[in-house]
Amino acid sequence: MLTARDIMTPSAQCIRENDSLKQAAQMMRDLDVGGLPICGEDNRLKGMLTDRDIVVLVIAEGGNPEAVNAGTFGNEKPVTIGADDSIDEAIATMKEHKVRRLPVIDGHDLVGMIAQADIARHISDDKVGDLVELISN
């Protein structure tokens, strides 16, 4: 049985809750990713920040990404997957919450990230289509 740990991208990098959205955007650019986990000063996962959050919820509304902290988007309990949970559980979680990325945790520690592409490399084409369709609706 494939687990989240088997397919995740390890060593996910966090944006700190007190870092600006400009710093987050630069980090996304440098890492070539569309989302970052938000970690608190206690190194615990506080939420997720996407490039879309920055553009649609801040810049499009006239906000200054240098003046808004990443922690602004860390108020809700993040959707996660356990490192030893199955790939089927990861798919079910993505479908249920309509998310494209899942932080992978081991206990309270962030150990990696799973994106749709990670799953797509490990499942049949028909399941990939179902996953993309359900998340995108």
* Per-residue pLDDT of the chain in tens (137 residues, 90 and over written 9): 889 999 999 988 999 999 999 999 999 999 999 999 999 888 789 999 999 999 999 999 999 999 999 999 877 788 999 999 999 899 899 989 988 899 999 988 899 999 988 888 877 766 666 666 656 65
Domain region containing 35: 4-136
Count the alpha carbons within 13 Å of 46 in the hemisphere toward its beta carbon: 19
User: What's the CATH code of the domain at 73?
Assistant: 3.10.580.10
What is d(CA 54, CA 115) in angstroms, rounded to the nearest whole number? 19
User: What domain count does the chain have?
Assistant: 1
Q: Tell me what pLDDT residue 105 has.
A: 93
29 to each of 19, 22, 26, 51, 94, how far by Cα in Å? 15, 11, 5, 10, 24
The verdict on pTM exceeding 0.75 is: yes
Instruction: Tell me the residue type at 61.
Output: E
